[in-house]
């Protein structure tokens, strides 16, 4: 850029840098101006004010919400001898709810089955639970949701080599007509070696599809692999508690 | 001079006054020291009896419940007094609402007791696929292949979530900071959580507890908490 040619009478601004031009000898003296242009003088307080407001607002938000106070964790539980008679009675009533024999706990979301005796885990197995899928029978305007029920159950019946009496949904799912003869509903060999019935059509049983264990693929029953089913069968009886969550 | 002598021989009125004061002070100290532990013992007995009564109430119910056992340092998912899953607590904090660092102390609400019907926020995505029965007239080769639903481990779990109960208790479940997402995503998430917390803290008078769990435990709880679970908080 050529700054030397001519005799400019006005200041020249080059990329925000002010260069004072040398006035001609005959021209009146130029009044000295501030190095900061007027626009920048206005901007600076604005920027500072905005920044201040931002900081105050940020601090305000940061200091709002909840102030958390830690609650003490741990401590010595009261010993049984330190309890008075009423407390001992309450504790005994509470302990009556907990099964004294082995019981089954099923985590249906994670497809895990445990056999427990008190706090001890005797068996930890991968199982399969309900898929949560929906089947509609458009002809009869019915539908089924294949969820494993949650709650507290008991084994009501145990059978060896159970035979499956196929319900209506099994035929609808296969796209087959529902048989009129009840004898056409029975199918052997698909439920494994043992079936432990716990009500409302639900069982713990074996499977032909062990590769799908650990996935939620059933129609609501709980499937176990062959070895786990055998171990469970040897440890439970009619009346054993089942907790499914 | 005579009075001075009498004082010296009998202990004098000022000496008797001092002795009386000392006896009264000693008696007061004795009573004060003796009664304080008795009151503490009475309080703790009442608290323990109340906690047992609440546990009995929950055990008799057919609902699942989360038992936050602060003295035991653990939260348990229970049904009929049977512990189904235990989540060790890394931290348990009580939240008091505040605005710009000024604590609204009077708005803090005690959380100990029973809180009914909790639900997860943000809600767990519910996967409900529909089974398409095959066309009975179609040849076997065109039968649809069974596609199992995605594994539960594929369900993404927010770093921080809440379980809200009908009576207003909020359990904010979170994990240690190192587990949080970093970068812009983490900052945006933290800001969103902060704004939600501010809104909640200032909106209504509600008990608020923050629970710190291992990330795996927080994920497990999110994925498997049964619907409409109650909560029992056993405070220290």
Quote the number of domains for chain B: 2
**Is A68 in Cβ contact with B95 (below 8 Å)?**
yes
Last residue of a domain, one of B11, B43, B60: B60
Q: Hey, what are A61's tokens?
A: 């938000």
Domain presence at residue B229: yes
Q: Is the same domain home to B25 and B71?
A: no
Instruction: Say if residue B94 is in the same domain as residue B28.
Output: no
CB A243 within 8 A of CB B79: yes
pLDDT score of B229 more than 90: yes
Predicted pLDDT at B23: 57
A150 vs B72, B99, B226: nearest CB: B226
For chain A, the residue count is 245
According to DSSP, the β-strands at A134-137 and B130-131 are parallel
Backbone angles phi, psi at B151, to 5 degrees: -65, 150
d(CA B140, CA A102): 46
Instruction: Please report the domains of chain A, with CATH numbers, ordered by start residue.
Output: 95-244 (2.40.440.10)
Domain identity same for B53 and B93: no
Pick the closest to residue B7 from B187, B168, A33, B15 (CA basis).
B15
Identify the domain boundary among B21, B41, B60: B60
Instruction: Identify the residue with better confidence: B168 or A236.
Output: A236
- The chain A residue lying nearest B111, using CA atoms, is A71
Q: Å from B73 to nearest chain A CA?
A: 5
Mean pLDDT lowest among A162-166, B142-146, B184-188: B142-146
B122 upstream amide cis, omega within 30 of 0: yes
Residue A5 in this model has a pLDDT that exceeds 90: no
pTM above 0.90, yes or no: no
Within this chain, do residues B84 and B43 fall inside the same structural domain, yes or no? no
Q: What percent of chain B has pLDDT over 90?
A: 35
Which domain range does residue B33 map to? 1-60
Show which of B60, B76, B103 is a domain's final residue. B60
* B88-129 confidence digits (pLDDT tens): 999 999 888 888 788 776 555 567 889 999 999 999 988 788
Q: Strands B65-69 and B229-234, how do they pair?
A: parallel
Note the maximum CA span of chain A. Answer: 124
Q: CB-side exposure of B50: number of CA atoms within 13 Å? A: 14
Task: Evaluate if residue A55 carries a pLDDT over 70.
Answer: yes
Query: Residue B194 belongs to a domain with what CATH number?
Result: 2.40.440.10
In a 3-state reduction of DSSP, which class is residue B106?
A: helix
Cα A138 to Cα A142, B41, B187, B234, distances in angstroms: 7, 68, 50, 51
Which stretches of B139-234 are assigned E, i.e. beta strand?
Answer: 161-165, 170-174, 208-212, 229-234
Residue B50: inside a domain: yes
Mean pLDDT of chain A: 84
Q: Which two tokens stand for residue A218?
A: 């059933």
**What mean pLDDT comes out for the span A106-129?**
96
Pairing of strands B161-165, A120-128: unpaired
Q: For residue A139, name the pLDDT band (cuts at 50, 70, 90).
A: confident
CB crowding B126-136: b at 16 or more within 10 Å, else e: eeeeebebeee
Beta bridge mates, B93: A70, B210
Give the pLDDT confidence score for residue B234 in this predicted structure.
Answer: 87
The chain A residue lying nearest B233, using CA atoms, is A71
Q: What is the mean pLDDT of residues A228-243?
A: 97
Tell me whether residues B201 and A152 touch, CB distance under 8 A: no
Compute the Cα dihedral for B120, B123, B124, B129 and give only its sign: positive
Interface test with B, best of A59, A66, A113 (most B CBs within 10 A): A66
What pLDDT is stored for residue A40 in this prediction? 61
Confidence of residue B232 (pLDDT cuts 50, 70, 90): very high
- For residues B171 and B211, is the Cβ–Cβ distance under 8 A? yes
Question: Is the predicted ipTM greater than 0.90, yes or no?
Answer: no
Give tens-digit pLDDT for B125-183.
887 888 888 777 766 655 566 677 778 888 889 888 999 999 888 899 998 865 555 67
Question: Within this chain, do residues B114 and B29 fall inside the same structural domain, yes or no?
Answer: no
């Amino acid at each position: 850029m050529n700054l030397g040619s001519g005799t400019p009478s006005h200041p020249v601004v080059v990329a925000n840098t002010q260069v004072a031009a040398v006035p001609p000898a005959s021209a009146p003296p130029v009044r000295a101006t501030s190095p900061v242009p007027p626009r920048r003088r206005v901007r600076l307080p604005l920027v500072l004010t905005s920044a201040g407001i931002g900081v105050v607002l940020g601090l305000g938000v940061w200091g709002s919400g909840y102030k958390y106070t830690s609650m003490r964790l741990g401590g010595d539980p009261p010993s049984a001898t330190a309890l008075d008679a009423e407390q001992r009675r309450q504790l005994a009533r509470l302990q009556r709810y907990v099964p004294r024999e082995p019981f089954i706990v099923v985590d249906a979301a994670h497809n895990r089955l445990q056999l427990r005796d008190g706090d001890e885990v005797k068996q930890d197995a991968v199982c399969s639970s309900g898929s949560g899928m929906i089947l509609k029978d458009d002809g009869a305007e019915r539908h089924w949701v294949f969820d494993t029920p949650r709650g507290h159950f008991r084994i009501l019946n145990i059978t060896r080599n159970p035979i499956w009496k196929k319900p209506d949904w099994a035929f609808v799912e296969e796209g087959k007509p529902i048989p009129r003869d009840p004898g056409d509903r029975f199918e052997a060999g698909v439920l494994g070696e043992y079936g432990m019935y716990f009500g409302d059509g639900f069982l713990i049983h074996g499977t032909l599809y062990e590769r799908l264990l650990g996935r939620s693929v059933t129609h609501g029953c709980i499937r176990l692999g062959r070895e786990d089913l055998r171990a469970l069968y040897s440890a439970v009886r009619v009346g054993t508690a089942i907790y499914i969550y | 001079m005579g009075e001075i002598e009498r004082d010296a021989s009998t202990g004098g009125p000022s000496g008797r006054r001092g002795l009386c004061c000392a006896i009264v002070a000693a008696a007061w100290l004795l009573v004060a020291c003796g009664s304080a532990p008795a009151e503490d013992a009475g309080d703790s007995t009442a608290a323990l009896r109340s906690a047992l009564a609440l546990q009995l109430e929950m055990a008799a119910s057919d609902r699942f419940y989360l038992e936050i056992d602060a003295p035991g340092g653990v939260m348990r998912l229970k049904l009929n007094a049977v512990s189904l899953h235990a989540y060790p607590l890394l931290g348990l904090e009580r939240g008091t609402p505040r605005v710009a660092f000024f604590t609204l102390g009077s708005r803090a609400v005690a959380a100990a007791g029973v809180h009914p019907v909790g639900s997860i926020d943000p809600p767990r995505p519910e996967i409900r696929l529909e089974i398409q029965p095959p066309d009975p007239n179609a040849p076997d080769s065109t039968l649809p292949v069974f596609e199992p639903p995605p594994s539960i481990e594929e369900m993404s779990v927010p770093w921080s979530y809440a379980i809200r109960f009908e009576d207003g208790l909020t359990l904010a479940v979170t994990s240690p900071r190192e587990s949080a997402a970093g970068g812009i995503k983490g900052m945006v998430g933290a800001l969103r959580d902060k704004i939600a917390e501010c809104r909640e803290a200032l909106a209504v008078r509600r008990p608020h507890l923050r629970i710190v769990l291992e990330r795996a435990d927080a994920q497990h709880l999110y994925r498997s908490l049964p619907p409409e679970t109650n909560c029992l908080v056993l405070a220290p």
